[in-house]
Structure 1
Amino acid sequence: MFARAPAFWSHPRSLAGLLLAPVGWIVGAVTLRRMAQPGVAVDVPVICVGNPTVGGAGKTPTALALLGRLKARGATPFALLRGHGGREAGPLLVDLARHDAAAVGDEALLLAQAAPTVVSRDRVAGARLAVAQGASHIVMDDGFQNPSLHKDAALLVVDSAAGLGNGHVLPAGPLRAPFLAQAARADALLVIGPGEAGKAVAAQAVGRLEVLRGKLVADAEDAAALAGRRVFAFAGIGRPDKFFRTLRDLELDVVESQAFPDHHPYTPADLSTLHREAEAGGLCLVTTAKDAARLGAQGFDAVRAHVRVLRVGLELDGAQSFDALIALAQTRAARRLSPAGGGAG
């Protein structure tokens, strides 16, 4: 897997993309064949939040928003994810008092702040643990292309600025498989943020999927704490530039910025260097909530207090909501769990 997206993934007519396209056709065919395999079902509705491409699209903020909506409706949802970047194979229930990012991954720590969260490389075993622990619904963060666990509803998330890149499949481009073939196995598409690329993806999906639109909104309290500060921003996420742009959109003076690979395992030396450079320029260090989750080890104690965090949340446009997706998942689960439906399997 690429630590950072190659530049040619953004250019439809790039020579590298065209030369690698035949490999992408094979990868896409293998992925689609795998996705067609039946999954094991569990006794509660399962909703998957995935994306058709690799890279940061906003899946975790979307999963957090969906968990919040389920809780507002009186449900007891659990989050389920692989725990990318963590050493634990699971299945295990994340304990914020015991687990750090090195154990379960940064995304798991963020989700566990909102709802009970299970990390498991075996999605079926993880789902069964969630059900045993009292889950009324399971929200999967990623795993759309993994067929092992039956999904009652699936939401694809696309970053509007990036769209589908050059439209090619890995390694020729960012797609995991041809988009329309993936869309045929989903129920809704969420396009996050402004951008012509996202509009083009939505246009392809209209008539095939419910199309939702939203944006990532900075936490008002975090933004207020940074107002008037000259900042040194750093981020190790799928698209660091998106975070830097968010800071500039808040009219903050981003004097310096440092991008790291996605899920970068920070060391105390990394943070000490950042702090030294920021201090020399009279700048305030600021990062994302996902990056901050990787700064929990004892070696970061001396510098962590000097790092500000800007959290973001998903806000759907207008009167749009996740209610239709939730209702669809519940209806399908009820149908398969009824005696006539043959049970959970």
Structure 2
Amino acid sequence: MAPVFWYRPAGPLLRLLGPLAPGRRLPAAPARLPPVPVISVTSLSLGGTGKTPTVIAIAQRLAMQGRAVHVVTNGPGAPAMVDERHDDPSRVGDEPLLIAAFAPTWIAADPAEGVRAAAEAGAGIVVFDGDLPGAKARVLVEDALRGFGNGYAWPLGPLKRRLSDGLAGADLLVAIGPDRAQAEFAAKWAVRLPCPIAAAHLAPLPTGMDWEGLDVVAFAGIGAPERFFATLKGLGANLVRAQALTDHQDLTPALMTRLENEARSARAQLVTTEKDAVRLPRAFRQKVVSLPVRLELGDWAAFEALLA
């Protein structure tokens, strides 16, 4: 749980000490990247910002243009292509497993080696899920509602790096949220950005499910579970229980049995996110409905300019 003061106006003491906050340690830049264009998709803020849906949307956009796009993410060991049908999320991670449904996806401990493996396998362009110095383009993804919080780096604020350092080299910022939040984000932060802002929002995919008035027990182990619960309410679902889990929390049989019992007692439907669904124990996969969402970008022009 993020400290409340991260998202409140800074007082005198924080204004004094905030600029000294160091932020998190960043991975070293690779000595050399293979000669294939790489788009780095990252976030300056800690916690969930919508980065995974953005990676998927960019990969789909590039594929629609006929480009041979692969995605590379951080993972253990030597580069390995993710098999969405057979790989275990405990080994490859839930996000790579989800992304692999939309584009060839690789995990690698060494980003440069992952990009090289993708290029050797036929990638003409790579989307890297994370910060990768030396990439052709660097896309930041931020939650428009939270913005950059108090504007300071960890541990005195929600940013991985000091704001000026984190924004340096950004080519595009994708701000995700409703129109009002977009306007407030632009009013507060646009003057400090070295790049254009592209407004986007997460929209639920129509699945044929009638959510209006449906009693649900919802659970989510993502960076911002409140967004998922708000989406369900917006569709008309009645949240009997909204269980926020930690990001990537293990969906153990014990946890799932407890939630199943709650849903049965309330005659409610178990519902989770698409990302959590890939981690469900096999015995529960037919008992839980997932609600997929996709990133919708209002205008792709600023992104297309990065590829020129």
TM over 0.5: yes
Deviations 1:113-138 (A, max 9, x none): 00100001210111111111111100
Gaps of 5+ in 2: none
Q: 1:40 aligns with which of 27, 32, 39?
A: 32
Aligned mates of 1:117, 1:81 — CA distance in 2: 8
1:181 aligns with 2:165: yes
* Residue 322 of structure 1: how far off its partner (Å): 2.9
Match in the other structure for 1:54: 46
Aligned mates of 1:96, 1:219 — CA distance in 2: 20
Deviations 1:196-249 (A, max 9, x none): 65234552355x212111110000116x34343111111011011111111111
* Residue 19 of structure 1: how far off its partner (Å): 8.5
* Residue 181 of structure 1: how far off its partner (Å): 2.7
- TM-score after normalising by structure 2: 0.91
Equivalent positions of 1:141-180 (< 5 A) are 141-142=129-130, 144=131, 146-147=132-133, 150-180=134-164
- Tell me which amino acid in the other structure corresponds to 2:285: R
Aligned mates of 2:34, 2:165 — CA distance in 1: 25
Is residue 211–residue 236 contact of structure 2 (8 Å, CA) maintained in 1?
no
The structure whose residues are more often helix, as a share, is: 1
* Residue 161 of structure 1: how far off its partner (Å): 1.1
Aligned mates of 1:301, 1:139 — CA distance in 2: 31
Is residue 158–residue 198 contact of structure 1 (8 Å, CA) maintained in 2?
no
Is residue 19–residue 152 contact of structure 2 (8 Å, CA) maintained in 1?
no
Q: 1:234 aligns with which of 214, 219, 236?
A: 219
Match in the other structure for 1:77: 69
RMSD: 2.3
Match in the other structure for 1:199: 186
- Tell me which amino acid in the other structure corresponds to 1:79: V
Aligned mates of 1:108, 1:238 — CA distance in 2: 16
Is residue 20–residue 171 contact of structure 1 (8 Å, CA) maintained in 2?
no
Q: 1:7 aligns with which of 4, 18, 21?
A: 4
Match in the other structure for 1:125: 113
* Residue 16 of structure 1: how far off its partner (Å): 9.1
Identity %: 38
Aligned mates of 2:146, 2:304 — CA distance in 1: 27
Equivalent positions of 1:60-99 (< 5 A) are 60-83=52-75, 88-99=76-87
1:294 aligns with 2:266: no
Match in the other structure for 1:272: 257
- TM-score after normalising by structure 1: 0.82
* Residue 91 of structure 1: how far off its partner (Å): 1.2
Aligned mates of 2:212, 2:77 — CA distance in 1: 41
Aligned mates of 2:19, 2:58 — CA distance in 1: 37
What secondary structure, in the 3-state scheme, does the structure 1 residue paired with 2:198 have? strand
Aligned mates of 1:286, 1:302 — CA distance in 2: 15
Gaps of 5+ in 1: 328-345
Is residue 202–residue 211 contact of structure 1 (8 Å, CA) maintained in 2?
no
- Cα gap change, 1:270 to 1:185, in 2 (>3 Å): same
